[in-house]
Structure 1
Amino acid sequence: MEYVQERVATLHDFGDASPAAPVDRATVVVPLTDRDHASLAAEQVLSTLGDVDPQSVLVALRAGGGTVDDVREWVDSIDVDADLLWCNAPAVRSLLDEHGLNGEAGKGRDVWLALGVAAARSEFVAVHDADATTYGPDHVPRLLFPLARDYSFAKGYYARVENRRLYGRLCRLLYEPLVAALGESRDDPIVDYLGAFRYALAGEFAATSDLVRQLRPPRGWGLEVATLGDAFREAGFDGTAQVDLGIHEHDHRAVSGRGGLSDMADEVAAALFGALADHGVAVDHDALRERYRTTARRFVDQYAADAAFNGLEFDRVAEHEQVDAYAESVRPPASDDRLPAWTETDLDPDAVCRASQDALDSVAGE
């Protein structure tokens, strides 16, 4: 146990922290796909939210027309008052097309749609992934607690340790050493801010509705990093907190293949470089790639020592192979696919809700 502070306020769990928080003034957004909808982790998250009873629970769903009704029946079977937002429904896509916002769907676009709806409903918004098997009733109150004080953005952090192994590979082996390598050659506040978070790729965060309306997530992965870039602009060091969510056990992804960690690494790195460019930080990608390799190898050595200290299994060869794979992501982004802030579009969140509901009604009972 420790109580070290970072450049942003760091709120520790010294033993079953369960602070009073404005849960009744918050909407909790849970992104979900039809592939994951019946998992034990997703069921635990939603049933726990039923016990927490926030002002609103909004499930940002990406599903095919042939499975969406099954997902709705499954959600209805859980003791939680949750609304479904069918993010890739034909009617929603048509509405987005009318506003020039249609295109590739992904987690980022799903969350962006839900954030617009949530910010119109509630004073505060929290976002939680649905893949944590260790999800507990204190997570939402912990995230929301700083927002009732002087903070407008709160990020969750946790340890990724399970089955006697260290996980969180994308954060440990790409994000952390990449930001550290940047810090070796740049003395810039945005780099310091990006390096202040203990688990920057956590999907759990909370913010005021005003800040939420300023977020510009990419359509796919990279949502978490892009959010930090926007939070730095809107909240800065003084308006940001990070909160201890304990130990999380998550579903795991393969390194290669469609939707694997290598694909995610490309989008995480692109989001990072986009955030840096927003704040005037120019990057020499070739030089950074070499510094990243050196820094990441040092991190591997440090994690190996930590694992040995705790009697955990550790595959140093596999970790180095991942570093080599991730190094290919250190390159100029091919494009900027970020969605606009809700304050910069005339898309109406109520219209999104109506389009989603009409689409859900059209497939009911089919």
Structure 2
Amino acid sequence: MEYVQERVATLHAFGEGAPDAPTDRAAVVVPMTEREYAGLAAERVLSELEALDPERVIVPLRAPADRVGAFREWLAGFDLPLETLWCDGPRVADLLDDAGLDGERGKGRDVWLALGRALDSEYVVLHDADTKSYSREYVRRLLFPLANGFEFSKGYYARVENEQLYGRLFRLFYTPLVRALRDSAPDSEFLEYMAAFRYALAGEFAATGDVVAAMPVQRTWGLEVGTLAAAYDAVGVDGAAQVDLGSYEHDHRAVSGPTGLSDMSRSVGAALLRAAEEHGVDPDYDALPDAYRSAAASYVDRYAADAAFNGLAYDRGGERDQVRTYAESIAPPGQDTRLPPWESTDLSPADVAAAARADARDAANGEVADE
């Protein structure tokens, strides 16, 4: 068992349980899509939150209109101060359009809508609902740093399941890409910070309401990287911490396909490269793919040794194929479509919530057509 400190404060879980934390002053945001409906993982998450007794739970929901009524009824069956925020209704779309914020829909957009609603709470926690090993202790661990001098905390964990290593996008894309960038900009404090997180693509974080209000948010899969960069701007290196969440199991994605790791790598890469540029790094986009491939090859060799050391299966050829696929996603980040910090927009979270409630009511009554 190790206890090494990183560039950001690292809080280790040396035993079971979790420290005391201000759960009664926290809003817990749990984004869901229609696939979470009545699922075992989501049931576990919500049941554990019942025992935790947070101040409130906000579920930003992305689902067709014909699924909204049943989804709301299922969520209402849990003994929680829970608010469902349907993100796909016409009134919500009109509000965003009127504010000049219409655009691509995705997880980040859903989360952004919910974060605005969560700003009434002192602390905000975000995590997914597809975690098969979920424990209420995750929330306490994420909140503990906020009550002890930090303003942002990020969860980390080992992705070892079914006798093999997962976390492929983080291991094989994010980490070697950050290393390649650092090789060209060794004095960058920002890149040192981004490299310090043990699982930068984890979806679990907590922050004070003030920090959340100051965060621009990626609309899609770059959400986690964008959150880390926004936290750096808001609190700096010394205001951030990462916490050990221990055992963690959730769904895995294929490499190819419209929601696969290949598509995700493009969004993650764009978010990282835009953030690097904004913090004084000037990537050489002609040389960067080769630098990434070289760094990633060394990581493949290291993970092969680590897997063998632990008696795990390891497909070295398959991992190298993924590296080749991910390298194709390295390019200038293109147009910035981030949603603005809530403190910088005139859009009212209360108006969004009212619109979402009205949309959900109409959907449950069959008065909203599916797109």
TM-score exceeds 0.5 = yes
CA distance in 2, matches of 1:170, 1:45: 24
Alpha carbons 2:56, 2:80 under 8 Å: kept: no
Partner of 2:369: none
SS in 2 for 1:38: coil
Q: Does 1:64 align with 2:55?
A: no
AA matched with 1:167: Y
Note the residue ranges of structure 2 that are not aligned, 5 or more in a row: 367-371
Partner of 1:27: 27
SS in 2 for 1:195: helix
AA matched with 2:51: D
Alpha carbons 2:60, 2:110 under 8 Å: kept: yes
AA matched with 1:136: S
Residue 237 of structure 1: how far off its partner (Å)? 1.1
Note the residue ranges of structure 1 that are not aligned, 5 or more in a row: none
Percent identical among aligned pairs is 58
Partner of 2:88: 88
Alpha carbons 2:105, 2:219 under 8 Å: kept: yes
Residue 206 of structure 1: how far off its partner (Å)? 0.3
AA matched with 2:304: A
Partner of 2:131: 132
Pairs within 5 Å for 1:1-366: 1-119=1-119, 121-186=120-185, 187-366=187-366
Q: Deviations over 1:264-313 (max 9, x none)?
A: 00000000011112212111122111111011010011111111111101
CA distance in 2, matches of 1:157, 1:113: 25
CA distance in 2, matches of 1:363, 1:258: 27
The range that moved more, 38-47 or 266-275, is 38-47
SS in 1 for 2:245: strand
AA matched with 2:319: E
TM-score by length of 2: 0.97
Q: Deviations over 1:139-180 (max 9, x none)?
A: 000000000111110000001011001001000100011111
CA RMSD of aligned residues (A): 1.0
Alpha carbons 1:47, 1:80 under 8 Å: kept: no
Q: Deviations over 1:295-342 (max 9, x none)?
A: 101001111111111110100000000000000111111321111111
Alpha carbons 1:177, 1:296 under 8 Å: kept: yes
Alpha carbons 1:61, 1:84 under 8 Å: kept: yes
Residue 17 of structure 1: how far off its partner (Å)? 3.9
CA distance in 2, matches of 1:14, 1:110: 35
Alpha carbons 1:50, 1:81 under 8 Å: kept: no
TM-score by length of 1: 0.98
SS in 2 for 1:28: strand
Residue 365 of structure 1: how far off its partner (Å)? 4.7
Alpha carbons 1:126, 1:207 under 8 Å: kept: yes
Residue 246 of structure 1: how far off its partner (Å)? 0.5
